Amino acid sequence: MSLGTGKTRKGTAARKKAAGRTQTETEFELRLYVAGQTSRSLAAFANLKKICEEHLAGRYRIEVIDLIKNPQLAQGDQILAIPTLVRKLPEPIKKIIGDLSDTLRVLVGLDIRPAS
């Protein structure tokens, strides 16, 4: 598997599940900032994909930005750490840094699950 360059992805399975839900129709717009295809970046993307499929099926978009190719994009979202996941929508903006290996913390960070 390789990282795309800023494509929107929606899982097909997720779309079916989402159709049955009514409570949260909020679209999640996520950006994953990486620097080259390092093992950490790949792990982060895989972890993110998995979490999204499980919890946000059908209502999320992931944009992967490789800062090595587009270094000027780091400033806009105030990226320091790699990898960084930015939740652009819904507002407010949230950032999760790291390889996203701790699913629970990712869910808390994305406000999918309350922090309790």
Residue numbers at the binding site for another protein (CB under 8 A): 33, 35, 40, 67-68, 71-72, 74-75, 78-84, 92-102, 105-106, 108-109
For residue 96, the minimal CB distance to another protein (Å) is 4
- Nearer to another protein among residue 15 and residue 69 (C-beta): 69
63: left (phi over 0), alpha (psi -120 to 50) or beta: beta
CB atoms within 10 A of CB 28: 19
How far is residue 19's CA from residue 1's CA, in Å, rounded to a whole number? 28
Dihedral of alpha carbons 101, 51, 11, 13, sign: positive
Q: Which residues contact 21 (CB under 8 A, 6 or more apart)?
A: none
- Nearer to another protein among residue 10 and residue 29 (C-beta): 29
For residue 64, the minimal CB distance to another protein (Å) is 14
- Nearer to another protein among residue 8 and residue 101 (C-beta): 101
For residue 24, the minimal CB distance to another protein (Å) is 20
